[in-house]
Chain A
Amino acid sequence: MLWQQCLQQLEHHFPEQEVNTWLRTLQPQQKESMLFLLAPNPFVLQHVHENYIGQVVNIVRSLTGDPNYQVMLQIGTADVAPPPMPESQAPIPQSEPDTPPVIEVEGAVFAGNISHKMRFENFIEGQSNQLARSASLQVSEKLGETYNPLFIYGGVGLGKTHLMHAVGNAILDEAPYARVLYLHSEKFVNDMVSGLRNNTIDQFKQYYRSVDALLIDDIQFFARKARSMEEFFHTFNALMEGHKQIILTSDRFPSDVEGIDDRLRSRFSWGLTVQIEPPDLKTRVAIVHTKAYELRLEIPDDVAFFIAERFRSNIRHLEGALQRVAASVRLRNQLNITLNFVQDTLRDQLNSQDRQVTMHNIKKTVAHYYNLRIAVLDSKKRTRSIARPRQLAMALSKELTNHSLPEIGLEFGGRDHTTVIHACRKVKELLDTDLRLREDYYILKRTLIN
């Protein structure tokens, strides 16, 4: 293909890093005696125009033997169809990358970005996400009637997005022509900016207000974007009035999301707000098995337990580890996935994790969180304001490090291992009864792991 040949020659004229950075990213489209080079953004366009286009034109003309061959550089993307199509079939480029959303013809399937991979069937239920799953399921069965909006919040990588897509899929299973739209809050902002810039804001409004279910992820990214928030406020009201379903997610409780308009914040709490918490070990083991199955891996129980035990922070961490195992299985043609093989494969990840969470780090983080000096945690003082953080730090050390009970006791002012056992039991008991401590525990755990 012409552009491939041109790139080969350009490698002799410019440093290879420049070719990789600025030229390989251009999307070629040939039409008659013309080569369109589509740049992904104005930044690349300007740089290529200023530094390389003259040489590109020379090489193209020399390769085609046509001194009048035209090279057009413009911003845009065409449909991606690698490997390259025959030149005669190459489509004409679209000039604008940020064209406003298109309203589909009635009766056509609505393209709403719902991932078919994320369904209720492969969402692993556990104590940590039971309520959120059950609420989502109810919402998908009675659209706009049960909990509206449904607000799901929780730390990163715990399954909020999965639940949203699961609702979307469940709706589409029942009504394939339903207009279910999933998007990240950033996309809403970009579409609005594009609508304003291209004078198509009415189309934008019509598009977003015509859906049956609007699923917006990570609404905390609306923070401090006044115009976007205002537009979303009106969209929200229009959808609610039309009894359309809204599902929102965020990394924190609605009232804790900073930089969000009060009117919006209060509306977020109109329906049901549910939290997703980090999964417990049993749930993590089940997740490992499910993800392994999706990757076509047969994982024995001891390996699943090992991975679930060592990768605790969130589901993405587990997924990353499993993908690494899957890649190694393929590369080394490994037939049986044994514990030794997995330990060897994940060696550097495990090392870095061990380096990350140390007992000293735990003590430092807990002390900072409760505004105490680290030394106090090692002291003999037993007042509750000190004993409780100490117990928390001990329980976290047991959970997040591989140190033994005597080692943990030793680290906390030379205490006996039975004291550590007592601390762990006490914290476990309080996690079920003391909401404040429960929140502290999860915040600390998240801080330490991430």
Chain B
Amino acid sequence: MQQLTLDISLHDGYRFESFYIHRENVDVVNLLGQISLNQQSGQFFFWGKKQVGKSHLLQSCCQRASAAGYITAYLPLKLLAKHGVYCTKGLSHAALIAIDDIDSVLGQPIWEEALFHLINETRQNDQTLLLGANNHPSLLKCKLPDLASRLIWGASYQIHALSELDKFLALQYRARQRGFEIPDHVISYLHNHHPSDLNTLIRLLNRIDKKSLATGRKVTIPLIKTILRKNYLDT
């Protein structure tokens, strides 16, 4: 008999704990952990390709700092750009400001100037500023030289992408965090039969989680096959 599952969000949250750490990202994650507890102030730039976890890490940092009692501001510019530059104003009270997707507004004079002033202010107020973009700061297409020189001011860190296999191991890691196991041979099967795009994998994880909870079954290859078949029928 199927068990009724509570309608709870299967979102793992933007937490350091839910971030699968690739060996090349160990330093970056440790650094962000220190920053979030205000052990380091200044300007830090984090860059990497799409889906490497920049937003996850920046938000983890905000969440932890906020939980410690600091005021934080997270500005995902890809979403906020259309509303104008007002969101960059009045942030002098925030101990930590994280600006995500810088690349999405570069080339727009009004945005470049607003970011330039924001960086100046954070320096003057001794705030911690985290910047995230899809490329190294010196390779970003920035028109305002004053901003370009400020983007490279602090230390910059690359967030490295996970290998194909690592993405599946990240799935296994997240499952363990949710309290269930995906055995190695199932991971191996998925590696051979499922796309490795992280968003798709997370959606799959949600389905596996729900299905195994509802049926009370362990995660096995037949269960995965059922889910994938249903997935296919749904689409």
Contact B13 A316 (CB under 8 A): no
How far is A251 from B71 in the complex, measured between Cα atoms in Å? 35
Nearest CB on A from B90, distance (A): 4
A interface bracket (residues with beta carbon within 8 Å of B): 35 or more
Residues of A within 8 A of B164 (CB): none
Which residues 307-331 of A sit at the B interface, judged by CB distance below 8 A?
313-314, 316-317, 319-321, 323-324, 326-328, 331
Using A1-B69, A4-B67, A24-B72 as known contacts, say yes or no to A38 and B93 having CB atoms under 8 A apart: yes
Contact with A along B111-124 (1 / 0, CB 8 A): 00100010010001
Tell me which of B62, B91, B146, B157 contacts A156 (CB under 8 A).
Answer: B146
Tell yes or no: A436 within 8 A of B by CB.
no
Nearest CB on A from B112, distance (A): 12
Tell yes or no: B193 within 8 A of A by CB.
no
Contact B69 A20 (CB under 8 A): no
How far is A355 from B138 in the complex, measured between Cα atoms in Å? 10
Tell me which of B42, B55, B62 contacts A323 (CB under 8 A).
Answer: B42
Tell yes or no: A293 within 8 A of B by CB.
no
- The stretch of A60-68, A79-87, A234-242 in contact with B is A79-87
Residues of B within 8 A of A1 (CB): 69
Using A4-B67, A77-B93 as known contacts, say yes or no to A156 and B145 having CB atoms under 8 A apart: yes
Residues of B within 8 A of A270 (CB): none
How far is A434 from B45 in the complex, measured between Cα atoms in Å? 40
Contact A40 B136 (CB under 8 A): no
Residue of A nearest to B71 (CB): A27
Tell yes or no: B14 within 8 A of A by CB.
yes
Residues of A within 8 A of B62 (CB): 20, 24
Residues of B within 8 A of A348 (CB): 136, 156-158
How far is A349 from B152 in the complex, measured between Cα atoms in Å? 10
How far is A392 from B59 in the complex, measured between Cα atoms in Å? 47
How far is A12 from B79 in the complex, measured between Cα atoms in Å? 22
Residues of A within 8 A of B66 (CB): 4, 7, 20, 24
Residues of A within 8 A of B45 (CB): 320
Which residues 201-216 of B sit at the A interface, judged by CB distance below 8 A?
none
Nearest CB on A from B157, distance (A): 7
Using A25-B94, A320-B154, A320-B156 as known contacts, say yes or no to A355 and B139 having CB atoms under 8 A apart: yes
Contact B59 A17 (CB under 8 A): yes
Residues of A at under 8 Å CB distance from B? 1, 4, 7-8, 11-12, 15-17, 20-21, 24-27, 38-44, 75, 77-78, 80, 82-84, 97, 113, 115, 155-157, 184, 186, 218, 221, 251, 313-314, 316-317, 319-321, 323-324, 326-328, 331-332, 348-349, 352-353, 355-356, 446, 450
25 A–B contacts, CB within 8 A, in A order? A4-B66, A4-B67, A12-B9, A16-B11, A17-B59, A20-B14, A20-B59, A20-B66, A24-B66, A25-B73, A27-B93, A39-B90, A41-B86, A80-B95, A156-B145, A251-B146, A317-B149, A324-B155, A326-B155, A328-B27, A348-B156, A348-B157, A352-B139, A353-B138, A450-B138
